[in-house]
Amino acid sequence: MSLPPLIPRTTLFGNPQRTSPRLSPDGKYLAYIAPDANNVLQVWLQEPGGDDRQLTQDKKRGIRSYFWTYQENQLIYLQDADGDENFHLYLVDVTTSMVRDLTPFQGVKANPIELDPDFPDRALVSLNLKDRQKFDVYSINLTTGAVEFDTDNPGNIVSWTADHQFQIRAATAATPDGGSELLYRATADDAWESLRRWGPDDEGGAVGFSKDGNTLYVVGTHDANAQRFIALDLAARNETVIAADPQYDISNIVTHPTEHTIQAVSVYKAKEEWTVLDEAIRGDFEALAQVRPGQFVISSRTTADDIWLVAYLTDDGPVYYYRYDRNRKDATYLFSNQPKLEDLALASMEPIEYQARDGLTIHGYLTLPVGIEAKNLPTVLFVHGGPWARDMWGLNPPVQWLANRGYAVLQVNFRGSTGYGKDFLNAGNRQWGKTMHDDLIDAVDWLCNQGIADRTKVAIMGGSYGGYATLAGLTFTPDVFACGVDIVGPSNLITLIRSVPPYWQPMMAMFAHRVGDIETEEEMLKERSPLFFVDRIEKPLLIGQGANDPRVKEAESEQIVEAMHRAGKPVEYVLYTDEGHGFARPENRLHFYGIVEAFLAKYIGGRAEPADEVEGHCGVVK
């Protein structure tokens, strides 16, 4: 028994060959993202019977997000500057390839709210243009580019919902206690009224309106443990539960592109599970389930709803894209995002669960190396960010890379992760570095007790909250891990909270409730901050940071590196001068993961591909 050949890092961390295909609403065009001659991701167009051609000319960072408008021949892509997250909206005319910045405002972030086929020349967008702390609504004319003020944000609204007459009629607001409030107005001229409040231990918000505007769809945990999907009759003010699960939150919702009827909803357990509500698509879901193994996702639909684009996700291969003809119930294969992955010996991701020390059931995923016995393996505990997020099943390039190098990889949805109902989420309140961290240590014990992991060769690694967990692991439990890799993780909860972007201000009451109140609990926050316990670190640490990160500032990494240097502790530090909260450019990913690979091989003994010189990265190794 032996491991399969080394998969090159360029295969796993380089750009996809083609990804994110989208049908134009009329079905005439297929757009997708692919690298150009300089290996920068651009939007490309496939014309009927013609050659594929590049539509955009992004110089450096690459485009990752775009969508079609309902204007004939126009699409919009989003781009920020070097990871600052101040995204602009750019309009592309696919016939002339002309690109126009629709939101050319320095230091302002644009969030798309709504496009509607009945209002094809307009887009509703939220911008923090007048005040960096709050996002008001603006209407942008896609023909002239005119930006018109639409709706004022009193300061506490965190999301907006338009009806199908293109009027903002619902909003979700943050409340001073850390909860949220559902606001509604019958017309744009009416004052806002409160339909419902959720306390800080509940969650909820608006999803969308029915076509006639008389029903507002919401999700909420009120009167239940898990988020339910609910129809609120705006005349009678009564609620009807459309879909619910006692343990798992509602995950995704499929609506008809023009009728706006609710067609299917999902909950995400170990994998995503769909409930079809509209008989008109039951046969389609049944047909799609037979096309190939894996989980399917409807990624775009024509306005006529005769053609769907469907992506199939699997844990041991690329994403496969199909064009599905609803009339013929026939799926035609288009391409995969990474053909180089199709014939490789990739590892499967197995759902697991274990009992935490206080009896709480914790779920996660275990990925084991292919070709060798799962016994006494070097192991990486790979911790997700958020922390109000969760790991999911499917191909994960870092996980495959680690498994290919001979590591067992354990991903844990520790308490405080989302998707498992409010009791599980609230079990993480004020537990950063405490029971949230205990869940990770219990995961290591569980894996070692099964004989899978070598207790002396367990590394901890993660980004954002996962980076914090890494620092917590090496400071609060210094004997558990052999080494740690922190990617854009906060080292001091006090400075983290004091340096958030201005537009996070409405969410800071929620932060105070779930993490700790900086006004009344500063000492507790200090006790949970790895920076103040650097003297306990015994094992090597590697840190990667983006210089332009608006969430976890560069100072979060700089201060712990400086403290470790003063204390004579082993630390390696790489700063990427053109990145933000994570590494978007493939050159930077390849550079950093090359350093990580050598680091892990040195301290827990997996295989390593030789480190190549990566051209074009901006990493500064300190």
Among all residues, which ones are annotated catalytic? 464, 549, 581
Residue 579 · residue 609 · CB < 8 Å: no
Q: Which residues pair with 600 in a beta bridge?
A: none
Mapped onto helix, strand or coil, the DSSP state of residue 365 is strand
Nearest to 94 by CA among 2, 17, 28: 28
- How many angstroms from the chain centroid is the CA of residue 347? 22
Strands 377-383 and 408-413: parallel
Residue 368 · residue 374 · CB < 8 Å: yes
Which pair of tokens denotes residue 81?
């500057």
Rg of the chain over all Cα atoms, to the nearest angstrom: 24
Q: Which residues pair with 334 in a beta bridge?
A: none
Sequence-distant (≥ 6) Cβ neighbours of residue 531 within 8 angstroms? 471, 491, 492, 559, 560, 563
* Long-range own/partner contacts, residues 141-149 (CB < 8 A, 24 or more apart): 142/69, 142/71, 142/74, 142/91, 142/102, 143/71, 145/91, 145/100, 145/102, 147/102, 147/103
By residue count, the chain amounts to 622
Torsion of CA 481, 485, 487, 489, to 10 degrees: 30
Nearest to 512 by CA among 408, 581, 619, 430: 430
Nearest to 600 by CA among 370, 369, 406: 406
* Cα–Cα distance for residue pair 191/168, rounded to 1 Å: 12
Sequence-distant (≥ 6) Cβ neighbours of residue 387 within 8 angstroms? 414, 416, 417, 428, 432, 436, 465
Residue 380 · residue 461 · CB < 8 Å: yes
Q: Which residues pair with 485 in a beta bridge?
A: 461, 542
Which pair of tokens denotes residue 400?
């495959």
Residue 31 · residue 75 · CB < 8 Å: yes
Q: State the DSSP string of 249-302.
A: -EEEEEE-TTT--EEEEEEESSSEEEEE--GGGHHHHHHHHTTSSSEEEEEEE-
Handedness of CA 111, 115, 120, 124 (dihedral sign): negative
